[in-house]
Chains A and B, each alone.
Chain A
Amino acid sequence: MGWLSYSSDLGYLVAAALFIVGLKYLGSPRTAPRGNQLGAIGMLIAVVVTLLRMSGAEGGLIGLPLILIGLVVGGAIGAFMAKKVEMTGMPEMVGLFNGFGGGASALVALAEIVRARDAFGAGRAEGLGPTVFVLAIGASSLIGWVTLTGSLVAVLKLNGTMRKNIFLPGQNLLKAVLLLACIACTVGLIYTPGNLLLITALVLAAAMLGVLFVIPIGGADMPVVVSFLNSLSGCAASATGFVVGNNALIISGALVGAAGLILTGIMCKAMNRKFADVVFKAYGATGSTDTGEKRTVQGYEAEEAALAFDGARTVIIVPGYGMAVSQAQHVVRELADELERRGSEVRFAIHPVAGRMPGHMNVLLAEANVPYEQLFELDDINSSFSECDVALVVGANDTVNPAAHTDPDGPLGGMPVLDVEKARTVMIVKRSLSPGYAGVDNDLFYRPSTMMLFGDGKKKLTDLLGAVKEL
């Protein structure tokens, strides 16, 4: 067994190295496809090494039929889902995969402690190995089940099944109690590792914690939640590494955990919200801050609006979640092409939290064949709005709300926003005047330089495209 153990450890090292280089390559558009392939190769190596190691160990691959079933069934389902999913369904898909990763780690921890019941008997976990084993199981269960149930709730919110953001009084207190319960169960398991009641309580408390964690959060805070769950799925894998004593899991899990945390930080910064506020003070649930003041605004027809593009030198298109909802990305691209053909310079301004996951708009526009050089980040394009003839806002609201500057103490105060108000003409395609996720009315809609086009994004833009072609 000796040489097999050492050489399999080296195999895991190769897998981990491939993950590291793969993640590095994922950071640049040119190398990203290669990075993804390297990651997949690393995973294949890790699986093969594990099978070889088990076949050479005492007892051999006794569970081979079961293992083959698991590998084939899981692989087939994964491949099917990946092939079938529409690009507009990507946030749900990423959320679901996050959850499955966390769930897998939690199930491994559960399997290991159930298996160890025979060895522990009625005794306690004595010595370093068993103690670390139980502690790691506690961590892996807590993080893993939270990731699974939290992600499932997030998926229900992302696909619109769960529309309400539920924030009960005492919800934060209940979350604290559940967290403490998980810790107490873990400590209890050190003394009686075979205690089925404690094991069950740990699973249930963690699963409930995950649900309570995500149900109050919704809408524009979703990118924060999705990236945080991504981080947790890595942390769960890392904790499972301590359960089964495998450095490949510890390394890869930690890399993913760190990556997810960085994304979470970027998303929070883009909303000018503290992470703790997103989790504990979800404002999606507080409702809108209606001032009572009723203002009316006139909607424009596509033909009138199209005139604004006549002779426009620069056009900046600002997509938001509404573009994803109405699946308007293709007609947006057609409009952009038409405007370019007529001599306008067309750029896209992408707010970091536009949509429901990090990079959501970029994926949709890539699907519609918009080259990524045409997409600009907030910091790079914000100064260009003052020289821009038409800013076309498609289904975005909070990310272009001037209240971020004018009302520093309001819910949007201090959030970095796209300064579309500086454009000569602002054209906004939107279903209604309803406030965005933050519940703040948007002054932009009422300004004289603004043209509102009310209706479904895809339909309105198709009309607009037709009208522009007629010019």
Chain B
Amino acid sequence: MIELTAAALIASITVLFLSIFLGFELIAKVPPTLHTPLMSGANAISGITVVGALLAANAQLEGGNQTVAAILGVLALILAMINCVGGFMVTGRMLRMFKRKEN
């Protein structure tokens, strides 16, 4: 578990809210043609939870709660990796198909 000061918590909440506003601004004017790649690319970015999964999986299997936690962590890691590796690759595949008119 993490040590947490009130100042650090406030800082994190600040970061959270600013990121939400930034997200709204970034996406507001995306043309419909790109809606699917945008969604699948954004979804790949939500695979950032892979960082949390790495932290959770980093334990030795010595029985008890720590072992259960580590196994859950590895499962999380697998899902997160499918999400981000698969997500970025499939988005790339889609985007390579979007072509301009040949002159």
For the complex, what is the distance from the CA of A28 to the CA of B29, rounded to whole Å?
9
- Interface of A, secondary structure class, is helix
CB distance from A74 to the nearest CB of B (A): 3
How many residues from A make CB contacts under 8 Å with B? 120
A471 an interface residue at 8 Å Cβ cutoff?
Answer: no
B96 touches A357 (CB 8 A): no
B interface residues, how many (CB within 8 angstroms): 91
For residue A347, give the distance in angstroms from its CB to the closest CB of chain B.
12
Q: Does A246 have its Cβ within 8 Å of any Cβ on chain B?
A: yes
Binds B, one of A169-177, A236-244, A417-425, A441-449: A236-244
Per-position binary interface string of chain A over residues 54-88, scored 1 when its CB falls under 8 Å from any chain B CB and 0 otherwise: 10000001110011011101110111011101010
Q: Given A43-B50, A50-B54, A82-B93, do A256 and B45 touch, yes or no (CB 8 Å)?
A: yes
Chain B positions within 8 Å of A358 at CB level: 32, 35-36, 39
Let me know if B19 and A250 touch, CB within 8 A. Answer: yes
Q: Is the CB of A255 within 8 A of B22?
A: yes
Contact A43 B39 (CB under 8 A): no
Chain B's nearest CB lies how many Å from the CB of A148?
9
Asked if A75 and B41 make an inter-chain contact with CB atoms under 8 angstroms apart, the answer reads: no
CB-CB under 8 A from A77, the residues of chain B are: 78, 81-82, 86
Q: Which residues of A contact B92 (CB under 8 A)?
A: 33, 36-37, 40
Q: B26, A35: Cβ atoms under 8 Å?
A: no
> In the docked arrangement, what's the CA distance between A130 and B34, Å?
42
The answer to whether A71 touches B81 (Cβ under 8 A) is yes
Chain A positions 94 through 120: 1 when the CB is less than 8 Å from some CB of chain B, otherwise 0: 100110110111011011101111110
Q: Which of chain B's residues 3-30 have a Cβ closer than 8 Å to chain A?
A: 3-6, 8-9, 12, 15-17, 19-24, 26-30
B90 and chain A: residue at smallest CB distance: A82
Among A228-268, those with CB < 8 Å from B are 230, 233-234, 236-238, 240-263, 266
Q: Tell me the nearest residue of chain B to A102, going by C-beta.
A: B46
Known: A77-B82, A100-B80, A244-B51. A254 touches B4 (CB 8 A): no
Interface residues of B (CB under 8 A from A): 1-6, 8-9, 12, 15-17, 19-24, 26-61, 64-66, 68-70, 72-102
User: A: which residues have CB within 8 A of B?
Assistant: 12, 15, 19-20, 22-24, 26-29, 32-33, 35-37, 39-40, 42-43, 46-47, 50-51, 54, 61-63, 66-67, 69-71, 73-75, 77-79, 81-83, 85, 87, 90, 93-94, 97-98, 100-101, 103-105, 107-108, 110-112, 114-119, 128-130, 132-133, 226-227, 230, 233-234, 236-238, 240-263, 266, 350, 352, 357-360, 362-363, 366-367, 369, 371-375, 377
Given contacts A33-B92, A107-B79, A245-B4, 14 further A-B contacts (CB under 8 A): A46-B50, A70-B77, A78-B87, A93-B90, A112-B69, A128-B4, A129-B4, A132-B9, A237-B48, A244-B2, A249-B49, A250-B15, A253-B46, A254-B23
